Amino acid sequence: MALDAALEQLCSELRRFRDVLVGLETTVNEDRPATVGAVLVDEVSNAITDLDSQSRECLDAAEAALCAVDQPFDPHRLRRSLAGSQLGFHVMARLLVSDLLTYEKVSALVGFGSERGHGWDSWVRAVRLGLEECRASTADLADAYLACWREIAERLFSGPIALHTTNIGQNISAGALDGKGPLEAGIT
């Protein structure tokens, strides 16, 4: 895979992650039952808003990295942009895993849904499905970042090779090796 293709794949995966987040944000904020929620619902909503904001920054940086591959190739901008995007991705992944997908948070959501009744129970199921989609998408993003760095490393270590040859010395023909050429006469 070429570097530009790997970066395009990364941008595509980031857009897909953002689409999942938009769906999840809609579920959390607009599809919740009309009855009074709780602090837990607001915490989930705020965390998803933070994820969305961070994902936008990651996508912007990844697109800047993709632009750096175009002519003229700008390796410094490429490295800075891709590293910035990946650092943002790590913040997103930590937020997702350490806040939204913890056993405690999921258990609290399930308990909240069963306490509040049918409307909230359905809402909790939809939120959990969205969070699981985010988890799966995060794994795809990690693979896409790795593919980009792998392509950069291959480009770095298998760059263009220049070969310069010179002819120095004597021209020896096959006849000369058989003893029938100019060498036999002492001509060099």
Q: Kindly write down the DSSP assignment for every residue of 118-139, as one continuous string.
A: HHHHHHHHHHHHHHHHHHHHHH
What is the reported pLDDT for 174? 65
- Inside any domain, residue 33: yes
pLDDT digit string (tens) for 77-114?
Answer: 999 999 999 999 999 999 999 999 999 999 988 888 88
- pLDDT for 159: 56
Asked whether residue 183 is assigned to any structural domain, the reply reads no
CA angle 172, 174, 175 (to 5 degrees): 100
| CATH at residue 40 | 1.20.120.230
Read off the pLDDT of residues 1-56 as tens digits, 9 standing for 90 and up. 699 999 999 999 999 999 999 999 998 888 877 776 678 888 898 999 999 999 99
- Whether residue 52 lies inside any domain: the answer is yes
Within a domain: 182: no
The parent domain of residue 21 ranges over: 3-159
**The pLDDT of residue 162 is above 60:** no
The count of domains in the chain is: 1
Q: Is the peptide bond before 33 cis (omega within 30 degrees of 0)?
A: no
Q: Which two tokens stand for residue 188?
A: 């060099």
Whether 185 maps to a domain, the answer reads: no
Confirm whether 8 is domain-assigned.
yes
Percent of the chain with pLDDT over 70: 82
* 106-110, 172-176, 181-185, range with the lowest pLDDT: 181-185
Does the residue 172 lie in any domain? no
* Closest C-alpha to 55, from 149, 148, 137, 152: 137
| Structure tokens given for 63 | 């697109």
Decide if 142 is inside a domain: yes
